[in-house]
Structure 1
Amino acid sequence: MVSLVLTSPFVVAQEYEKRSPPRKLTTAQAKVAEANYKKYCVLCHGEDRQGHVNDHAPSLRSQSLFESGVPHAILRPLSFGREGTPMGGYLDEVGGPMTLDEVWNLTYWLFEKSGAERVRLSTKPVYGDIKQGEKIYQKECADCHGKSGEGVTGPALGNQSALAHNTDEFIRYAIRHGRQDTPMPAFEDKLSSADIDNVTAFLRSRGKNWEMKKNILKALPTPEQYVINPDGKSPNFELSDGLYVSSHDLNKALVAKNKMVLLDTRVTSVWQTAHIEGAVPLPYYADLEATVKDIPKDVQIVAYCSCPRAAADSVIKQLRGLGYKKTATLYEGIFGWMNMGYPVMHGDVLD
């Protein structure tokens, strides 16, 4: 049961019932989970789970996150990703590289590493004044999370899949207690309990029109499909910093039907959702030598991601080490490409 404790005329602190810990991983399960973290997560979340290594990926060692978020607030984005962000889904059912058991075990491994104790959160709606919550949000939250919740240096609080997956109490808990080891402060000593409810209600109001659709997984390209426009001329890119090609120049080369290989270095689940036409999914965590053996070294290769460049840069660096010299990274990334109005292939969905 949740109890209320009056600590001052302004702030009402909330004490939460402790929950028993989830199942403990075996030594073998923990070893595999740690290896999966290093393979799939370190690039953005960091070796020590500190977060903000690339693309403002959140800390995965914050006490309040694991107190309130295990299992589902961790399991769901890990499994299905965050639509509209660089976070792809890692569950094999949506095109990712991990089984359901592996996703569960990684969730519990992260919890064990955090040292947190779980608390029991209510699943009931949080009610508040949405207009007042918006005023407070714009004053206290917009600098980091964006005026429309799009995310700046902090997570995108207006992300539709996040709002669909997270309970009101999970959101309120984060506002109240902050996120340790991150720039996100606790607001329990700054905002009244009513105003925390107002902000929670405002954020919840942003997620009313989200509709879940299931992607139909496409067949992955075969090696004979890797090179697009095989009879075309090679593009003559002028690379900035000897590495980067602009969206303008890449689109010009595609329109001219130049011969090249496009590598989508994101997790394969987001390639399934949307990708530049002709792109081959080659995730940043793939066994590169085994994967690229079918790609000729005399063809121009352009890699892209959504970080906007971290994953693609990592792959290109490895390719150059393997002797692939005609390589480049798309500077703006796929989100920049899309925002500039250039086309992508969208995945099929079941209504």
Structure 2
Amino acid sequence: MDRAEQNYQKYCMLCHGADREGGAADYAPSLKSKSLMSTMPLNFLASSIGFGRPNTAMAPYLADSGGPMSMKEIFNLAIWLKYKAGHETIELSMDPIEGDLKIGSKLFAQKCAECHGSKAEGLTAPALANPAFLAFATDAYIKHAIENGREDTEMKAFKTQLSQEQLDDLTAYIRSLTSGWSPEPRELSPYPEPKDYVTNPQGARPDFTLKQDRYVPMEQVAKALKNKNKIVLLDTRTSSEWHNAHIPGAIPIPYYISEAKVSKGLPNDDTWIIAYCSCPHAASDKVIDMLRKKGYKHTAVIDEGFFNWINAGHPIIGGTSK
């Protein structure tokens, strides 16, 4: 119990909140919600932690994917989360739900797209077209969430707005977004050595214009890399996300690193140290706060975050599938 709680505070609290209430960052769901925790089987919860949600801020935490936890630790954490939630598990049917996809598509646009995105990619609510989610979520699990909502969140219950037939149509449409996915292991990249922490060590020092004395526009960072300016880039997401894809030259300094180790190998001179994460600020803010506490003055956070960096067409590199 103690170890599981320690791991929660270290790895999960940043987004899911100190008391599992959700919404601390990245619109992370409440892990206290009765409708969620009573219907999510233990293996589904553990798989969500271990394999994450590709293309979202929920990273894989399994060591085989470059994360910080063993499968035993992940199941221990999942058991602790179920225990702390304190809700009796509801056994849902494993049978597929049939419905009219055209009607379901229209209902999704009317009822769901505002929060989940027109393509179910996730905006202010989870991505429902995510292959990792759909690989584990049963039809009954999806329908139960639509019908009953998620307590203490913006996800309201639709059982009084939609008929059972409409709920089936909407569920069938969400299920139709499934595409083939498997938690494929990746060839993990070697971690950089301290001698390689500075990108373009012979380059000129860039000029950055910070917002709120902290945030630097990504276009300024992209320009500095293109001009081969001297800079240190910190990827403050989980190490598994760094393995999957990162900005060229970035070194993994995950948000859960200890304050004693955060500055190890980093120059404390006039070299700019720029951090980024997916949130786009929560994880990188935490690391920059630790560095500034240690006297690092030339530090900043990429304002728009990693996903917007990708969407803007800026370069990334990462491991490849085995």
2:208–2:220 contact (8 Å) kept in structure 1: yes
Query: In structure 1, what is the equivalent of residue 91 of structure 2?
Result: 120
Partner of 1:316: 288
Paired residues in the alignment total: 321
Aligned mates of 1:85, 1:72 — CA distance in 2: 20
How far does residue 98 in structure 1 lie from its aligned partner after superposition? 1.0
Runs of 4+ displaced beyond 6 Å: none
Give 1:288 shift: 3.3
Residue of structure 2 equivalent to 1:23: none
Read off the aligned partner of 1:220 and give its amino acid letter.
Y
* Match of residue 332 from structure 1: 304
Pairwise CA distance, 1:210 = 4.2
More divergent stretch after superposition (213-222 vs 97-106)? 213-222
Task: Kindly provide the amino acid, as one letter, of the partner of residue 241 in structure 1.
Answer: Q
Matched position secondary structure for 1:104: helix
Higher alpha-carbon deviation: 102-111 or 282-291: 282-291
CA offsets 1:111-152 (integer angstroms, 9 cap, x no match): 111111112222222111111111111111111111111222
> Could you say what secondary structure the match of 2:286 adopts?
helix
Alignment correspondent of 1:258? 229
List alignment gaps of at least 5 residues for structure 1.
Answer: 1-29
1:228 lines up with 2:216 in the alignment? no
Give the distance between the partners of 2:243 and 2:138, measured in 1 at CA: 28
**Counterpart check, 1:306 vs 2:288:** no
The sequence identity of aligned pairs, in percent, is 46
1:213 paired residue among 174, 184, 191: 184
Of 55, 77, 85, which residue of structure 2 is paired with 1:84?
Answer: 55
CA distance in 2, matches of 1:308, 1:346: 20
Give the match for residue 5 of structure 1: none
TM-score in terms of structure 2 length: 0.96
User: What are the equivalent positions in structure 2 for 1:156-175 lying under 5 Å apart?
Assistant: 156-175=127-146
Write the deviation string for residues 30-59 of structure 1: whole angstroms up to 9, x where unpaired: 111111111111111111111111111111
Equivalent of residue 344 in structure 1, options 300, 306, 316? 316
Secondary structure of 1:292 counterpart: coil
1:104 deviates by: 0.4
Specify the structure having the higher radius of gyration (Cα).
1
Range with greater deviation from structure 2 (302-311 or 119-128): 119-128
How far is the alpha carbon of 1:190 from its aligned partner? 2.1
Aligned equivalent of 2:244:
273
> Letter of the aligned partner of 2:307 in structure 1?
F
Letter in 2 for 1:331: D
Structure 2 alignment gaps of length 5 or more: none
Aligned residue identity for 2:248: E
SS in 1 for 2:274: strand
Partner of residue 28, structure 2: 57
